Amino acid sequence: MGKLTIGCFSSLVGSMSLDFSVKLASAAIEKGHKVDFWVSGNATMLSIKGQRAFKDYSALMKPVQELMGKGLSITACEACAEARGYHKDNTIENFKRHSMDWYLASAFDADRVFHIGGE
Amino acid sequence: MATTKLGFIVQRTPYKSENTKLALTHAISSQSVEVYLNDGDLVTADIAFVGDGVLNCLKNQKAMEKYGLTSTESHIKNCLLLDLNVMVCKEDLDKFGLSENDIVMDAEEFGADMTVKVVPFSEITKMMEDVNHLLFF
């Protein structure tokens, strides 16, 4: 099985790219692949805990937590998060925060990198 | 010991979105990635500005004066200081009526030896074929 590194830069609300990225990660994990997921820029919104699921907005906290339970490694860009007021004490449990070099390090030994850009 | 080559392709206009800044800051982070890797392993970053993205390279940007933000020009100069390979598509510059005189070409004031390379798109394509992974911004 391979290793996928997915980087997503699009916001949780206002774009469907993050929804697609999470579905892609889910499909890969179901097939037995290892997945590293990096969120940067507006996508760091995904890391905030206490997201409320409305039918009119993307609601990804629950599926992400389920994927983390299945081995998904997910990390938010710390600077991007802090710039938006998303602090460590308001981050979903086990959702990691690192500097941007974490993403590049993950890409180092990835079989494929899916970079899904921002708005 | 292994090296993974990443290609950062910037095709969006400056300041309208965060894309260019994120491309350059991620590319710059290739300089500190070793903390996560085994001794001798490397990640390299090549950067290419294409399409509307060449507008990011205009010199004398006033981002600090107007927005209180570090300019994209300054980020490009930091890339040069760190010896990253920065390419700008010549054909796309021509489309905007721009030349080497209009864009940031060096960072001498930062002490950088590297310079920006204005190259035909075929050379950027060659870089894209040479890298392990491409990241489009």
Measure CB to CB from residue A105 to each of B22, B36, B135 and give the nearest one: B36
**3-class secondary structure per residue, chain A:** CCEEEEEECCCCCCCCHHHHHHHHHHHHHHCCCEEEEEECHHHHHHHECCCCCCCCCCCCHHHHHHHHHCCCEEEEEHHHHHHCCCCHHHECCCCEEECCHHHHHHHHCCCEEEEECCC
Q: Under an 8 A CB cutoff, do A105 and B22 touch?
A: no
- pLDDT digits 0-9 by tens, A16-72: 999 999 999 999 999 999 999 999 999 999 999 999 999 899 899 999 999 999 999
Q: Under an 8 A CB cutoff, do A107 and B6 touch?
A: yes
CATH level 3 topology of B3-136: Hypothetical Protein Ychn; Chain: A, (3.40.1260)
pLDDT-based confidence at residue A119 (cuts at 50, 70, 90): confident
Query: What domains sit in chain A, N to C, each tagged with a CATH number?
Result: 3-109 (3.40.1260.10)
**Arithmetic mean of pLDDT, B2-14:** 97
Measure CB to CB from residue A107 to each of B17, B32, B43 and give the nearest one: B43
Sequence ranges of the domains in chain B: 3-136
